[in-house]
Amino acid sequence: MTRLRGVALVACIVAAASLGGWRLGVARRSTAPDSTTSNATDALVTRAVDGDTIVVRHDDGVVETVRLLGVDTPEIHHPTKPVQCFGPEAAAFARRALTGRRVHLESDVETHDKYGRRLAYVIVDGRRFDDVLLREGYGRLLVIAPNGSHARVMLQEELAARRARRGLWGACEPR
């Protein structure tokens, strides 16, 4: 009976390690921008509305508002909320980093929100800007299902910013 338990334990360990390796592989693949997806496009950023919303113009002249996926920056234009701590800094950072730049927009499962805004990860120079906002402490992770392709990596970015007390994590009182 003891030998059977030992074999069962080894089988469980091997199964867990295999599953862990598979999941890690999936997570690594999901961190790289996919330029081959049919729902991905390039555009020019004409304006940063705030830290997590931009306006872009496509090569065909179409202008659309894009809400960045996976991140929520403090409010500066909310109709019922005051300007939130670190909101102006997040908006200024997005304005400096994105205005006038060509970006690659990568959609997830849902492509538009209830306000008609395009939902996308914004890639600049091969890096997701959404991650940069989290890493530098300009926003919090916000995953609204089913759009969560990069949630694990993005959570790691936010946790690193929290530990280092970067951005809003060092400047604002905890909510």
Assess whether 117 and 46 both reside in one domain. yes
- The answer to whether residue 7 scores a pLDDT higher than 90 is no
Q: Do 46 and 89 have their domain in common?
A: yes
Catalytic residue check, 96: no
Q: Which domain holds residue 74?
A: 40-171
Residues 62, 118, single domain; the answer is yes
- For residue 113, the model assigns a pLDDT of 96
Name the residue type at position 29.
R
Instruction: Record the pTM.
Output: 0.76
Tell me, what's the pLDDT at 19?
A: 41
Catalytic pick from 67, 128, 135, 140?
67
Which residue type does 155 have? L
Tell whether 135 and 49 lie within a shared domain.
yes
Evaluate if residue 6 carries a pLDDT over 50. no
Looking at the structure, tell me whether residues 45 and 27 fall in a common domain.
no
Q: Cβ atoms within 10 A of the Cβ of 100, count?
A: 10
Each residue's pLDDT tens digit, 81-109: 899 999 999 999 999 999 999 999 999 99
67 is known as an active-site residue: yes
Q: Is a pLDDT exceeding 70 seen at residue 166?
A: yes
**Cβ-based burial of 40 (10 A; exposed 0-12, middle 13-18, buried ≥19):** middle
Give the chain's domain count.
Answer: 2
Q: Are residues 126 and 48 in the same domain?
A: yes
Q: What is the pLDDT of residue 104?
A: 98
69, 92: one domain? yes
Token pair, residue 124, equals: 């600049």
Asked whether residue 24 falls in the same domain as residue 93, the answer is: no
The per-residue pLDDT for range 107-143, each reduced to its tens digit, is 999 999 999 999 999 999 999 999 999 999 999 999 9
| Integer Cα distance of 93 and 71 in angstroms | 14
Q: What are phi and psi of 139, to 5 degrees?
A: -165, 175
Residue 68, domain CATH: 2.40.50.90
Same domain? 89 vs 144: yes
Same domain, 81 and 113: yes
Catalytic residue among 28, 29, 57, 75: 75
The more confidently predicted of residues 13 and 133 is 133
Asked if residue 1 has pLDDT above 60, the reply is no
Residue-wise pLDDT tens digits, 22-72:
343 444 334 334 433 447 899 999 999 999 999 999 999 999 999 999 999
Determine whether 165 is an active site residue.
no
Give the active site residue among 89, 106, 117, 136.
117
pLDDT given at position 175: 54
Let me know whether 44 and 85 are in one domain.
yes
Strands 40-48 and 102-106 turn out to be antiparallel
